[in-house]
């Protein structure tokens, strides 16, 4: 029998439209009445044909019709007080409430092929010093300076994203981006915005930030981009055919490194080194003719945030498109960049690098010892609960602390925004899926927070360490945001039609 809406009269009051499923037991119906009247089921006396409604009564045999009215007697008890805060179930939450509960940041709505911009912004958003510098910018979006308007709109967009729990439309920023750089205003058939190159968008935004943002800390140093995103490259040009000809040494800044992809490139480091070494022909003053030269570049300064672009697109004149190199090129989650540096800078890194390796080796050995103790305990059938087996006893936590001032080069310590160790960890990846730079789809993948160990004291003598997940990432597919792991990030190295790393962002490895 279908469900019915019935009424209940009790104590001079009428309760309308109570849903009654005649296939269910009368006990369920009494519970529904209790929720509205406060009369407990055991006190309810409900009149039906043949007497009182019992818990064993078959509701289908009562001949009830839509709108039937029951008469009830009974004394109400004290109604249960509602909880101070209503219980919310995951399936009942809105997207914004769910994102807040799971600590998932807001995504950016696609305004029509604007995934290139959305993914770029989400990757840059991982830099906390950028938020600080934007907070110091006092310009608005109504001025005549298009670059200043773009900077102010980025500041306001990040503020709105931090407040929002769901997809946010970056309309103002997109408008300012097109005003500052008209190439992003191109449209296709029907006036639909055309897909653009995320690397071009990245470079243009960084160039604006370089010219507009102040320093993060009070100093005479360069601006934000100069401090935290710019390295210094020294280039030596020597004549291969004349050993007597003097080398030419020049120096210039860089905000990203290129990873050249050839038929033999399998790893990012090899692609970068290949990009930093080239052969060319030019006129030799010592030989008075055209000769072969070799140009080799090495870094004399590494920034805290190092950007690497995979050179995956090349121009195919016949098809008139920028085709994509799909070759698999592996990039590390932790990157030692010292091989890219001059011997002088490598020497400045040496003490800190050796100490970091020593600290890491100790951590690895400690984990091995803990695992061995746990296996030994289990093999001897010693009682140990799951909670106690997961705890690590540390009798002397202060012994593991390192005074890094003893190992860091003073010049690097005083260089605000540089990487003083040459060691990096991956914090953002911008990927592309598709066969051409002018089509396909871009996504941003961003490392979540700062992973570390939390310490809780149970008494004055024993310390228990609880490990926090260190490999959580956020996948920003426009306004769709989800959680992924390190293993998912490592699959973005190319080799097919899956999402392929186009730009990767590393940050200086944090010193414990």
User: Which tens digits make up the pLDDT trace of 281-336?
Assistant: 999 999 999 999 999 999 999 999 999 999 998 877 877 777 889 999 999 999 99
Which residue, chain included where needed, has tokens 């939450």? Answer: 93
Q: Are 512 and 431 in contact (CB under 8 A)?
A: no
Q: At CA 357, angle to CA 356 and CA 363, rounded to 5? A: 90
Q: What is the pLDDT of residue 283?
A: 94
Question: Which residue, 321, 307, 318, is CA-closest to 437?
Answer: 321
Q: What is the pLDDT of residue 466?
A: 33
Question: Which residue, 484, 482, 455, 454, is CA-closest to 471?
Answer: 484
Across 6-10, 323-327, 442-446, the highest mean pLDDT is recorded for 442-446
Question: Which residue, 414, 426, 222, is CA-closest to 306?
Answer: 426
Which residue, chain included where needed, has tokens 């102040």? Answer: 214
What lies within 8 Å, CB to CB, of 261 at 6+ separation is 271, 310, 311, 312, 325, 327, 329
How far is Cα 159 from Cα 170, in angstroms, rounded to an integer?
12
Lowest mean pLDDT, pick from 22-36, 77-91, 349-363, 437-451? 77-91
Burial class (CB within 10 angstroms; exposed 0-12, middle 13-18, buried 19+) of 289: exposed
Mean pLDDT of 257-266: 94
**pLDDT digit string, tens, across residues 151-197:** 999 999 999 998 877 789 999 999 999 999 999 999 888 888 999 99
Sequence ranges of the domains in the chain: 3-73
Is the pLDDT at 93 greater than 60? The verdict is no
Higher pLDDT, 462 or 39: 39
Q: Are 365 and 400 in contact (CB under 8 A)?
A: no
Q: Are 290 and 360 in contact (CB under 8 A)?
A: no
Strand order in the sheet with 248-254: 248-254, 231-239, 289-301, 277-284
Q: pLDDT class for 217, splitting at 50, 70, 90? A: low
Q: pLDDT class for 469, splitting at 50, 70, 90? A: low
Q: At CA 332, angle to CA 329 and CA 337, rounded to 5? A: 105
Selecting among 68, 131, 260, 441, the annotated active-site residue is: 441
For residue 483, give both structure tokens: 């959680």
CB atoms under 10 Å from CB of 370, counted, come to: 16
Q: pLDDT class for 78, splitting at 50, 70, 90? A: low
Phi and psi torsions of 345, nearest 5°: -70, -35
For 181, half-sphere exposure in the C-beta direction (CA atoms, 13 angstrom radius) is 18
How far is Cα 165 from Cα 484, in angstroms, rounded to an integer?
19
CB atoms under 10 Å from CB of 328, counted, come to: 13
DSSP letter for 108, please: B
How far is Cα 451 from Cα 136, in angstroms, rounded to an integer?
28
Mean pLDDT of 52-74: 87
448 sits in which H/E element? none
Q: Are 230 and 222 in contact (CB under 8 A)?
A: yes
Q: What is the pLDDT of residue 189?
A: 84
How far is Cα 83 from Cα 507, in angstroms, rounded to an integer?
45
pTM over 0.75: no
Mean pLDDT of 378-397: 48
Q: Are 217 and 418 in contact (CB under 8 A)?
A: no
What lies within 8 Å, CB to CB, of 369 at 6+ separation is none
Q: What is the pLDDT of residue 219?
A: 53
Mean pLDDT of 61-69: 87
Q: What is the pLDDT of residue 323?
A: 82
What lies within 8 Å, CB to CB, of 317 at 6+ separation is none
Rounded to the nearest integer, the mean pLDDT of the chain is 85
Judge whether 115 counts as a catalytic residue.
Answer: yes
Q: pLDDT class for 100, splitting at 50, 70, 90? A: low
Q: Are 118 and 202 in contact (CB under 8 A)?
A: no
Higher pLDDT, 425 or 1: 425
Q: What share of the chain in percent tops pLDDT 90?
A: 54
Question: Which residue, 223, 212, 105, is CA-closest to 152?
Answer: 212
Q: Is domain 3-73 classified as CATH 3.10.20.90? A: yes
Angle between helices 198-212 and 146-163 (to 10 degrees): 100
Which residue, chain included where needed, has tokens 């009562």? Answer: 62
Mean pLDDT of 430-438: 86
How far is Cα 138 from Cα 482, in angstroms, rounded to an integer?
34
For residue 295, give both structure tokens: 């140009």
Mean pLDDT of 251-270: 96
How far is Cα 59 from Cα 21, in angstroms, rounded to an integer?
8
Lowest mean pLDDT, pick from 244-253, 337-346, 374-383? 374-383
């Amino acid at each position: 029998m279908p469900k019915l809406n019935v009424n209940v009269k009790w104590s001079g009051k009428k309760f309308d439209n109570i849903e009654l499923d005649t296939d269910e037991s009368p006990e369920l119906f009494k519970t529904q009445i209790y929720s509205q009247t406060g009369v407990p089921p055991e006190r309810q006396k409900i009149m039906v044909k043949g007497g009182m409604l019992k818990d064993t009564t078959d509701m289908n045999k009562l001949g009830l019709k839509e709108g039937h009215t029951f008469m009830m007697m009974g004394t109400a008890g004290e109604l249960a007080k509602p909880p101070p805060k209503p219980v919310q179930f995951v399936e009942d939450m809105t997207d914004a409430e769910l994102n807040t509960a799971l600590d998932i940041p807001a995504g950016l709505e696609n305004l029509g092929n604007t995934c290139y911009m959305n993914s770029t912004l989400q990757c840059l958003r991982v830099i906390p010093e950028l938020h600080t510098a934007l907070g110091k910018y006092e310009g608005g979006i109504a001025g005549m300076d298009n670059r200043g308007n773009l900077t102010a709109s980025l500041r306001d967009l990040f503020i709105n994203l931090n407040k929002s729990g769901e997809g946010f439309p970056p309309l103002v920023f997109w408008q300012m981006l097109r005003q500052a750089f008209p190439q992003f205003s191109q449209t296709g058939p029907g006036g639909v915005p055309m897909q653009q190159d995320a690397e071009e968008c990245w470079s243009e935004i960084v160039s604006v930030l370089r010219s507009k943002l102040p320093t993060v800390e009070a100093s005479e140093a360069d601006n934000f981009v100069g401090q935290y995103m710019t390295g210094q490259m020294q280039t030596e040009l020597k004549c291969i055919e004349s050993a007597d000809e003097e080398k030419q040494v020049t120096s210039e800044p860089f905000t990203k490194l290129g990873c050249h992809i050839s038929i033999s490139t399998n790893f990012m480091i090899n692609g970068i080194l290949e990009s930093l070494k080239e052969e060319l022909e030019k006129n030799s003053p010592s030989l008075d003719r055209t000769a072969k030269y070799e140009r080799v570049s090495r870094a004399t300064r590494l920034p805290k945030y190092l950007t690497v672009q995979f050179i995956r697109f090349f121009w195919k004149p016949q098809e008139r498109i920028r085709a994509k190199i799909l070759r698999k090129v592996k990039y590390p989650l932790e990157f030692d960049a010292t091989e890219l540096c001059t011997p002088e800078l490598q020497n400045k890194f040496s003490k800190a690098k050796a100490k970091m390796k020593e600290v890491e080796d100790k951590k690895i050995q400690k984990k091995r010892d803990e695992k061995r103790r746990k296996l030994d305990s289990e093999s001897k059938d010693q009682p140990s609960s799951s909670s106690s087996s997961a705890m690590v006893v540390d009798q002397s936590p202060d012994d593991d602390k390192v005074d890094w001032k003893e190992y860091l080069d003073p010049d690097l310590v005083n260089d605000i925004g540089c990487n003083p160790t040459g060691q990096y960890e991956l914090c953002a990846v911008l990927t592309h899926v598709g066969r051409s730079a002018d089509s396909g789809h871009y996504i941003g993948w961003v490392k979540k927070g700062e992973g570390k160990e939390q310490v809780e004291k149970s008494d004055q003598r024993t310390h228990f360490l609880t490990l926090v997940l260190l490999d959580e990432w956020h996948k920003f597919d426009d306004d769709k945001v989800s959680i992924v792991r390190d293993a998912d990030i490592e699959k973005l190295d190319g080799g097919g039609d899956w999402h392929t790393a186009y730009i990767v962002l590393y940050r200086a490895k944090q010193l414990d």
